[in-house]
Structure 1
Amino acid sequence: MKQISFATLAETGKKRRTKRERFLEEMEQVVPWAKLIALIEPHYPKAGRGRRPRGLETMLRIYFMQQWFNLSDPGMEDTLYDVPCMRAFAKLDLFDESMPDETTILKFRRLLEQHRLMAAIMNTINEVLEGKGLLLKGGTMVDATIIHAPPSTKNESKQRDPQMHQTKKGNNWFFGMKIHVGADVDSGLVHTVSVTPANAPDVSQLPKLLREDDRAVFGDKGYVDNRIKRAARQAGVFWGVSLKASAQHKLSGANKRFNRKMSSIRSRVEHVFRVIKRQFGYSKVRYKGLAKNAAQVFTLIGLTNLYLARRAMLT
């Protein structure tokens, strides 16, 4: 057993737990640590003659806290020194060992990117949720959201990120990328993710977001496509995409009632974006290029699924 320092012992005697502490206690219980560690371990550096690598579980916990609290590498290093409950969650003690520095944190993330482990992390989490009966099959809700990228050209290359693009939504222009998700109708948990520049039409990603055994599809007007609609109906799939009015064809009262009914069903998929943008603070890209940002999105989606399913898992 590791000896507990006096400072850590004093922290455990607090009478009131903060929201951050309660959140970390819940995540401690619902994250499938053993499966994720087994997934990463074959790619993790082994101890040799050189500098001994940090413990894999500690680095994974630090990486997850970066996603939950939207922290940069330097910000995460400072937080480990400043916030006792986050230090304890990473299984570190201030008086026993130095904290992992920002370079160590960066190298761990690059290891995950190099071996494409972020998507595997999301899939592993989904497998656990499916095994517990929390991620079901039968129908899919599709939706997309825009994540902003810096539009400024005041940088070394004097240009914006060439892999990001601008798009018009309503009367406003947005520059960045777009997250497309396919979520389970019953649970609201995401099973498939696609990341594109912001100017990609929502309907272009629809075939990628559906599962072969889906018997129903729900989406907003951005997914109107008569060709896909006919193919779905021929396959016996319920088409729950909202109807779109045109200059020649106005929506009837029945059409509007259908749209309201479909909107009430697919509205659950918006909870995913609320957690990512408001709970985890991910509303602006952190890296340059689609690949690095898409890798982070995979991790965020997996952790969002755990957050949305945490109460069912705890009970």
Structure 2
Amino acid sequence: MKQRSLSETRFDRRPKATKRQRFLSEMDAVIPWARLMVLVDPVQPKRGGKGGRKAFSAETMLRIHFMQQWFALSDPAMEEALHDVLVMRLFAGLDAGDDLIPDESSILRFRHRLEAHGVADQLLTEVNAVLVEQGLMLKAGTIVDATLIHAPSSTKNSSGQRDPEMHQTKKGNNWYFGCKAHIGTDADSGLTHSVVVTPANINDVTQAHALLHGEEHQAFGDAGYQGVEKREEHQGSATQWHVAMRPGKRRSLPDTPLGRLINQIEQAKARIRAKVEHPFRVIKRQFGYLKTRYRGLAKNRAQIVTLFALSNLFQARRRLILAGEVCP
């Protein structure tokens, strides 16, 4: 650990750890940094023999990138936070006394390099490999679901148009403009193993096959996945689907022994499906991801996949710490 500047040591007298400090400490303990750096280090340029502008380490930039996701910060806001917030500088491994602070351009270029090399998917795969090794993801069953992510609908931009890769859709009596995040989660732990991002008007059932990892015996979905087992891409699959009954049909069940039995079965399926809502709650409520930040599906998909990888570690953090999975 670097020696801290004298200007920062006075904060050591603060008697109480803040919520942000506790959160960053927990996440620092459970993120498999060494394994992730194998994926990230090759995409971060090193300082050449002729000198030039300082190149920040890949680990520092990855730590900053993760803080952007956790605290819903834009590139300029992330730069300002590094100047203003001591605990963020410490988490990134920076010391204001002798280090430069990455500016918003450096943060943006690092994010673009991650997107260009498809690192977000690799991060999710590596995080899940750690969870499987720790026995936290069993892969015997999968729950599938989707959530709408709003996109800015304003046309006050250089093109005078809304994002052409987003779309509007109607849910209930309301119209939404944006994209849709489809996920497949482990039926036992509720941890996400598959992510697909589409325009908002894409039907959930069309993406169901892409959310299965191929090893599950059972799959669960809400009423939006009715007829999934009849689709061509699922023919010959040994996976058994358990899809919710449509609400109107369920409300019309007769008050008979058979009707009550069917209703109890639907309640049991709903209790299993409830676990798929946990990752959505984490990225929307804990991480504050309520609206897309970038134009185009590719950039937003990279961010969404990273968010679900981080949500897996957040959901499993206490079990990982108890198991002694403290990674450098």
Give the TM-score normalised by structure 1.
Answer: 0.94
Q: Secondary structure at the match of 1:265?
A: helix
Question: CA deviation digits over 1:194-249, x for unaligned, max 9?
Answer: 000000001010011112121111111001116438997975533221012678x9
Identify the residue that residue 115 of structure 1 maps to in structure 2. Answer: 117
Distance 1:241 1:4, change over 3 A: same
Aligned to 2:326: none
Find the residue that maps to 1:129 and give its secondary structure: helix
Please say if residues 151 and 175 of structure 1, whose CA atoms lie closer than 8 Å, have aligned partners that are also in contact.
Answer: yes
Moved more, 33-42 or 20-29: 33-42
Cα deviation for residue 154 of structure 1 reads: 2.4
1:104 corresponds in structure 2 to: 106
State the match for 1:270 in structure 2.
277
Higher relative contact order (CA 8 A, sep 6+): 2
Segments of 4+ in structure 1 off by > 3 A? 226-238, 249-252
C-alpha distance in structure 1 between counterparts of 2:226 and 2:310, whole Å: 30
Work out which of the residue numbers 286, 293, 306 in structure 1 matches 2:293.
286
AA in 1 matched with 2:126 = T
Match of 2:317 in 1: 310
C-alpha distance in 2, partners of 1:283/1:226? Answer: 29
Contact 1:153-1:160 at 8 Å conserved across structures: yes
**Paired amino acid for 2:280:** F
Residue 259 of structure 1 and its aligned partner are, at CA, apart by 1.8
Say whether the 8 Å CA contact 1:233–1:239 is kept in structure 2.
Answer: no
Residue equivalent to 1:62: 64
| 1:3 equivalenced with 2:3 (yes/no) | yes
Q: What is the distance in 2 between the residues matched to 1:181 and 1:103?
A: 32
C-alpha separation between the residues in 1 aligned to 2:74 and 2:229? 44
Q: Give the secondary-structure state (helix, strand or coil) at the position aligned to 1:180.
A: strand
Deviates most, 259-268 or 189-198: 259-268
Letter in structure 2 aligned against 1:179: A
**Which amino acid is 1:21 matched to?**
Q
Q: Structure 1 residues 250, 227: CA separation in 2 closer, same or farther (over 3 Å shift)?
A: farther
Question: Structure 1 residue 158: deviation in Å?
Answer: 1.8
* Matching of residues 167-178 of structure 1 within 5 Å: 167-178=169-180
Residues 236/105 of structure 1: CA separation in 2 closer, same or farther (3 Å cut): closer
CA–CA distance in 2 between the matches of 1:308 and 1:183? Answer: 12
* C-alpha displacement of 1:256: 2.6
Equivalent residues in 2 for 1:38-117, closer than 5 Å: 38-48=38-48, 49=50, 50-117=52-119
**Letter of the structure 1 residue corresponding to residue 318 of structure 2:** R
Question: Shift in Å at residue 23 of structure 1?
Answer: 0.1
Write the distance in 1 (CA, Å) between the matches of 2:287 and 2:246: 33
CA drift of 1:151 comes to: 1.2
Mapped partners of 2:169, 2:86: distance in 1: 43
* Compared CA separation, residues 52 and 226, structure 1 to 2 (3 A): closer
AA of the residue aligned to 2:311: T
Structure 1: which amino acid aligns with 2:154? Answer: S
Q: CA separation in 1, counterparts of 2:202 and 2:88? A: 38
The alpha-carbon deviation at position 260 of structure 1 amounts to 1.5
- TM-score of the pair, normalised by structure 2: 0.91
- For residues 87 and 244 of structure 2, the distance between their equivalents in structure 1, rounded to whole angstroms, comes to 46
Of the three residues 223, 226, 230, the one matched with 1:224 is: 226
Give secondary structure in 2 for the equivalent of 1:94: coil
Deviation track 1:124-153 (CA, whole Å, cap 9, x = no partner) reads: 111111111111111000110000001122
Query: Which residue is equivalent to 1:24?
Result: 24
RMSD: 2.0
Q: Distance in 2 between matches of 1:235 and 1:103?
A: 48
Letter in 2 for 1:39: L
Q: Name the CA distance, whole Å, in 1 between partners of 2:83 and 2:54.
A: 21
Question: Aligned runs of 1:109-258 on 2, under 5 Å?
Answer: 109-225=111-227, 227-228=229-230, 236-244=238-246, 250-252=252-254, 253=259, 254-258=261-265
Q: After TM superposition, give the deviation of residue 280 of structure 1 in Å.
A: 0.4
Q: 1:6 Cα deviation (Å)?
A: 1.7
Unaligned runs of at least 5 residues, structure 1: none
- Asked if the contact 1:245/1:251 (under 8 Å) is kept, the reply is no
Instruction: Answer whether contact 2:228 2:234 (CA < 8 A) is retained.
Output: no
Q: 1:194 aligns to what SS in structure 2? A: strand
Change (3 A) 1:160 1:233: closer
Distance 1:91 1:2 in 2: 8
Q: Which runs of 5+ in 2 are unaligned?
A: 323-328
- Which of 257, 260, 268 in structure 2 is aligned with 1:261? 268
